[in-house]
Structure formats: C-alpha cells, structure tokens
Structure 1
Amino acid sequence: MGQYTLSINGAARTLDAAPETPLLWVLRDQLQLVGSKFGCGIGQCGACTVHLDGVPTRACVTPVGEVGRRQVTTIEGLSKTGDHPLQKAWQELDVPQCGYCQAGQIMTAAALLKKSPKPSDAEIDAALDGNLCRCGTYLRIRAGIHRAAELAAQGAV
C-alpha cells in the first residue's frame, strides 16, 4: 500500500492504494467518480477512458502508481455544469442508446476536438477506433462530434 496525491478534475485527492491498483478502481471505488465504466479490463473497449494530461487513457490498465503528477480528467471533470459542446451535442442529437460506453466516447472525442477543432469523418473514425459501442451508434457518435465542433466554433463552451 502507498499513499498517493493525485490531481483529479482540478483538485488534489489523497488516497491509499497498492501501486498496481488500476486507476479505474481508485476513481470508482474510493472517489465515487463512476462515470468511467469497466468494460473489458484489458484496455480494448474504451469504456474506462479518462484523460491524463489531456491524452485519452484506458484507466482499467493504468496503475495508480504510474499516474504521478499528471492531471487526471474524468467525464465528471470535463465540464462542471455539463455544458461541454460534446455533452450538449450528445443531448441534442440523442446520441446514446444504452449509454454504457458514452463517457469513454466523449472523453476520446474531447481530446480529438482539442487537437482538431473541425475533424473529418476519417479523423473521427481513426481517433475513436477501439472505443466500442455495443449498440452500434457509431454514426450518431460521429454526428455528435461534428455537432460539437459546430457548437464550439459558435462559442458554446
């Protein structure tokens, strides 16, 4: 066991965990940040995606002992008021079906939009490759990302 102080959603959080404990378990079980979901446990589905210094990262395979001083952002920290352009677009277009994968989809898309504010379909497909949607809402996810890009360009942040 070790004690870690992590920067999570802009706040310092101190916790006790074994260094090999997956970040996902720390977020969900100790900090009650349950937006990131457990899907596969091997980093292949994307349901657990968070940002480490803005980079989409699979929290189910990231040991808490390796986080260090990097800033962790979860879906709960994407926007304090839930008005991020992606969150607005998701609601406007009714993107999710069951919703299980959507936090990971949104977190991956947020990093894409930061890098490419007006992504092409090919850029979206490449960035979200590996984020699985059991319901197959990939076309709605892509439309949501395009709509979020429009909202961001209009200053709806």
Structure 2
Amino acid sequence: MSNRQFKTVFLGSQNVGKSCIVRRIVENQYDGKTEPTIGSSFLSKTININGEEITFQLWDTAGQEAFRALTKIYYRQSQIAILVYDITHKDSFRNLEKWYEDLKENCDRNQMILALCGNKVDLENDSVTYADAKKFADKINAELFLVSAKTGQGIEGLLLIKY
C-alpha cells in the first residue's frame, strides 16, 4: 500500500485558531489556552482514504505580523494551503487578502489546493457572513469550510479537500 504525503500549511492572523484546528485534527482535542505560535509548529496525521494511506504534514504558522517574513519559508513546496479566519472578527477576514498575496508570491498557486476556513462557528456573533466568505473563496478559487476547533464541527472535512 502506498503512502502519499501532502504538505499542508495553515495561514492567518493571530488568534484565529490555527493551532487549535491542527490539534483537533491530530489529537481530536481542544485546548483554548494555546500560546501564540512562534515561527511554526509541525504535526502530522495519517488517514486512510479509499484504501490509500495519506499523510498530511500540518504546518501551523505564526499569525503575528512580527513573524510574517519568517513564516513565508514554510509555504514552499506546500500542496495544500488553508487560509483561516475567525468568523467573529472581521479584521481577520480582511487580512486574508494579504495572506493570499504572500502565498502567491512564494508558491506556485496552480500546483496548490486552497481552502478558506472560517473558525469558531460555535460562537453566535459572526461578523463575517457566509456570503462574504463564499465570494472571497470563489475569487481565489478555494473551497470554503466553516468549522469549530472547540467542538470539532466541520474539522474532518478539511483533510478531505482533495477527495
């Protein structure tokens, strides 16, 4: 049985929940007290899809502006990019344009699968509408996912993006 690997990079502003999403994917756990990521962190998850073992190398990048130049090195050779925003903070959504531009400058966008991920759907005060998120996802040719790292809602679909 072959084992294919996909380098998957998570991008987005600080406090949108990238680390919590990655932890939910890998350990199926939630810890709302995570420390800000410095540079990046790396975890992997292997799943069986249609009888094929697929390993996702999950790169959780720093969202702070101070580390922006450093995080760009983790984009290289990524096959999947997941742009994460917090549905309760419009600024995190507005900042996705910059994250997307950084991604295009450092990767071959034509060779990459792209997802837009709205996190924190368990909270009620969504300031980013589904229509706005869908419009941006369509503009950048990305699939849209709405998830909650806290409850696990929608998380499983993130790794099935290619299938």
Q: What TM-score do the two structures reach when normalised by structure 1?
A: 0.26
Point out the structure with max Rg over C-alpha.
1
Q: What TM-score do the two structures reach when normalised by structure 2?
A: 0.26
